[in-house]
């Protein structure tokens, strides 16, 4: 008789507990001149899917309670004269813009940079303008996201 190795049962309530911070926020991704199906570099997934996963992964990683995050993607640096921006729209709600005219890794790092600002708003924990913390963490966390994407775990997409 074959021997079976049982993995921990993944129940819906177990998933809800483990991924509470990933699942709970409302995340909207808007596009300015970024077409449906737009991908960056070699990554096969639409940029909207990637963006939502990164935002949720950061909430999960920082274990932060957030109500809503709206991300606007724009395709030209000159549209806003910056790679990314973040602001508080009201308690629990945040807005972010990110430019897609950059490499995949830089795009991920820019979005994570803005999510570190969200964390600074949520915890009300700023060291000066907060830039030093963002710059220190953005690539470290970008690589960590690449290796730990919850989207991969939940969908079994693998690498």
Residues that bind Zn ion (CB under 5 A): 134
48 neighbors 111 (Cβ within 8 angstroms): no
- Find the residue with minimal CB distance to Zn ion: 134
The CB-of-131 to Zn ion minimum distance in angstroms stands at 5
> Cβ neighbours of residue 26 under 8 Å, at least 6 residues apart?
67, 68, 69
The CB-of-155 to Zn ion minimum distance in angstroms stands at 31
Residue number, 115 or 134, with CB nearest to Zn ion: 134
Token code pair at residue 49: 């899917």
Residue number, 47 or 134, with CB nearest to Zn ion: 134
> Cβ neighbours of residue 17 under 8 Å, at least 6 residues apart?
none
Residue number, 22 or 109, with CB nearest to Zn ion: 109
The CB-of-29 to Zn ion minimum distance in angstroms stands at 20
62 neighbors 121 (Cβ within 8 angstroms): no
The CB-of-117 to Zn ion minimum distance in angstroms stands at 6
Listed residue (84, 74, 81) closest to 30, CA to CA: 74
Residue number, 43 or 130, with CB nearest to Zn ion: 130
């Amino acid at each position: 008789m074959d021997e079976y190795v049982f993995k921990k049962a993944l129940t819906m309530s177990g998933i809800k507990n483990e991924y509470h911070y990933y699942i709970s926020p409302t995340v909207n991704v808007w596009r300015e001149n970024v077409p449906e199906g737009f991908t960056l570099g070699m990554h096969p997934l639409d940029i909207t899917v990637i963006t939502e996963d990164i935002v949720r992964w950061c909430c999960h990683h920082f274990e932060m309670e957030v109500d809503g995050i709206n991300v606007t993607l724009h395709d030209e640096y000159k549209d806003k004269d910056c790679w990314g921006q973040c602001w508080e729209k009201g308690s629990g709600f945040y807005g972010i813009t990110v430019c897609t005219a950059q490499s995949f890794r830089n795009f991920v790092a820019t979005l994570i940079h803005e999510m570190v600002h969200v964390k600074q708003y949520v915890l009300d924990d700023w060291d000066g303008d907060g830039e030093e913390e963002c710059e220190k963490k953005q690539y470290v966390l970008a690589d960590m996201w690449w290796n730990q994407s919850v989207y991969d775990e939940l969908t079994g997409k693998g690498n």
